[in-house]
Chains A and B, each alone.
Chain A
Amino acid sequence: MTEMPVFDPLLREVPSPYYTPAHREFRATIRRWVDEHVAPFVEQWDEAGTFPRELYGKAAEIGLIGMGFPEEYGGIEGTDLFHMIVATEELARAGSGGLIASLMSHSIGAPPIAALGSDELKARVLPGILSGEKISALAITEPSGGSDVANLRTTARLDGDHYVVDGEKVFITSGIRADYVTTAVRTGGKGFGGISLLLIETDRPGITRTPLKKMGWWMSDTAAIHFDGVRVPAANLVGPENAGFLGIVRNFNGERIGLAAGANAFARVALEEAIDWARQRQTFGKRLADHQVIRHKIVDMAQRIQATQCMLENLAWRVEQGDAPIAEICMLKNQATLTMEFCAREAMQILGGAGYMRGVKTERIYREVRVNAIGGGSEEIMRDLAARQLGL
């Protein structure tokens, strides 16, 4: 048996006010599921640039997909942000953020439907998504801008009982395989008051999808989606017309906490890999872990990860209490992605040449740093939003 991992929240049950036995049980379940159904195949899937579609169904069986959605549509009620954190951390252990992004793309695509959609719409699409049969994606970003949501250009013009959609979306996670794309469209005038959310089935005529090649997240499908006169039933409108902006931003806090949990989890994976290597590798007559320069690197990484984890769990708890600490969540996301960046770098330095080879988790994590620091609100946007929230 190898040495105990230093920061394994499953095997080291440190006292915590946030996690119940049910959370720990869920962690054990996902740990086993990831070890069996994900970890052995990650290399192969990443090189292939995709993973089997059946994984959605398997993930749904153990409860990964249904978390937080209403039971009547196949969801699992009574879960909280800590289930989401646990799920993200355990999925991250396989060392691929691309897997999480695509496998869990419904976690940004489907919440607006569940929260704002009509009963008819929910009954029509949610059971398929939550059972893993159908894939849901969210499409906001356009070639002309991402975070500047209020100025998006894709239009939906009402024609009888249908909307006619024209425009283009880019960097859409699960864009190629998605059956449903929750799309931000302009139905009214300029600014955020003219935006609606429309559920678009991807088999409608007039949709062209182009796969995009990326620096990291290889197994995640990322697409540009072009809409050319696509007719979508008005019944697919998610929430009231021209009130889509609220539907978009209401999910941001949860999404950013999830992204922060992922980034810090990847930092921890890189750290664990570096520690394993430092304990094995002999240089100048002793283990790497016995060289002061390496020992200090490890502690510096661990210190940042622990600090980020404290902030993450505290803010998740505040959100669960009904608080909306927007500025702090922006700072948390940056804290987490900067920690991931630092740890990917330091772990790579410890691994040396071995770390530069494909097949090492740190190599992949290194390539996935930027997508975390840019996606879901870039570091610059996060700072700007935090500054505004602070009333500067």
Chain B
Amino acid sequence: MKVLVPVKRVVDYNVKIRVKADNTGVDLANVKMSMNPFDEISVEEAIRLKEAGKATEVVVVSIGPAQAAETIRTALAMGADRGILIKTDEEVQPLAVAKLLKGVVDEEQPGLVIVGKQAIDDDSNQTGQMLSALLGWGQATFASKVVIGDGSAEVTREVDGGLETLSLKLPAIVTSDLRLNEPRYASLPNIMKAKKKPLAEKAPADYGVDIAPRLKTLKVEEPPKRSAGIKVPDVATLVEKLKTEAGVL
């Protein structure tokens, strides 16, 4: 079984985000970009399936500018087998991503697609679900455990109040949650080997997909600054303030 893992290049989670002065977006100049953490988890899961003999090949795909190839190389250094870069400098929104991924799925015929539940830049949480709808495949979102059986998968999800287990027929879409696994290091020997792994370059037009944005960004703003708290002398004052000022009691 082939496993397909889409990966997105995003601002590293350690970077303190700055909004551009003209409110059109986020300042990306000289900022470290990394693989979306949920995608790292997806890559790790796919590699573990391969190591367990459940998968035969792990293919990673990224959609974005030329530098997205570096994100693919990271996945290859972790242990994925080959990569596909669908190169574009345009903004690609979740629906366009899902359509392009459908094109890749049609071509590659994977038995399983593991998608990060969301990307930490736009937090859309849509791509996996849209891809599932476009393909007409089953989906299990927010996976915290994946067990592959014979032609089926059992996926555990963390839901309010406990765990939910879904059984679904393969091929299927799984979106990964934080606790699915802990991704491995890309060690130096594997970073060096990853340079030699195959990476195919494509364009959105190769899949006949119109990636023009359907959504328009009006304004990007910093969240409001949190104002300083106050100290109260005793419990009575606290209860009083919660009643009168905070209005929560």
Chain A residues within 8 Å of B, Cβ to Cβ:
1-4, 10-15, 21-22, 24-26, 28-29, 32-33, 61-64, 66-67, 76-79, 83
Contact = CB atoms under 8 A, between A and B. Distances in A.
Given A62-B188, A63-B188, A78-B192, 19 more contacts: A2-B16, A4-B15, A10-B14, A11-B12, A11-B15, A12-B32, A13-B31, A14-B30, A21-B70, A22-B192, A24-B70, A29-B185, A29-B186, A61-B187, A63-B187, A64-B188, A66-B189, A76-B188, A76-B189
Interface centre among B33, B73, B191 (most CB of A within 10 A): B191
The 4 closest A-B pairs by CB, nearest first: A63-B188, A21-B70, A62-B187, A4-B16
Contacts of B77: 25
B74 interface: yes
Interface in B51-81: 70, 73-74, 77
23 contacts: A4-B16, A10-B14, A11-B15, A11-B31, A11-B32, A12-B31, A12-B32, A13-B33, A21-B70, A24-B70, A25-B73, A28-B34, A29-B185, A29-B187, A29-B191, A33-B185, A62-B187, A63-B188, A63-B189, A64-B188, A66-B188, A78-B192, A79-B192
Contacts of B189: 63, 66, 76
B195 interface: yes
B30 A13 contact: yes
A1 B16 contact: yes
B191 A32 contact: no
Interface in B183-223: 185-189, 191-192, 194-195
Contacts of B194: 22
Nearest to B17: A1
A339 to B, nearest CB: 23
A29 B73 CA distance: 13
A83 B188 contact: yes
Interface string B5-21: 00000001011100000
Nearest to B69: A21
Contact of B32 (A10, A67, A77): A10
B185 A21 contact: no
Contacts, number: 67
B185 A32 contact: yes
Given A12-B30, A12-B32, A13-B31, A25 B186 contact: yes
Interface centre among A11, A12, A79 (most CB of B within 10 A): A11
Contacts of B12: 11
A25 B187 contact: no
B218 to A, nearest CB: 26
A69 to B, nearest CB: 11
A26 B16 contact: no
B42 to A, nearest CB: 18
Nearest to A28: B34
Contacts of A25: 70, 73-74, 77, 186, 191
Contacts of A26: 188, 191
Nearest to B71: A21
Contacts of A24: 32, 70
A11 B14 contact: yes
Contacts of B192: 22, 76-79
Contacts of A78: 192
A1 B14 CA distance: 8
Contacts of A13: 30-33
Interface in B33-56: 33-34
B183 to A, nearest CB: 10
A26 to B, nearest CB: 6
A166 to B, nearest CB: 41
A4 to B, nearest CB: 5
A22 B187 contact: no
Contacts of B73: 21-22, 25
A26 B186 CA distance: 8
Interface centre among A3, A28, A61 (most CB of B within 10 A): A28
Interface centre among A4, A22, A83 (most CB of B within 10 A): A22
Contacts of A61: 187
B19 to A, nearest CB: 14
A64 B191 CA distance: 12
Contacts of A21: 70, 73
Contacts of A79: 188, 192
B188 A3 contact: no
B31 A67 contact: no
Contacts of A29: 185-188, 191
A32 B185 CA distance: 8
A85 to B, nearest CB: 14
B87 to A, nearest CB: 16
Nearest to A1: B16
B144 to A, nearest CB: 22
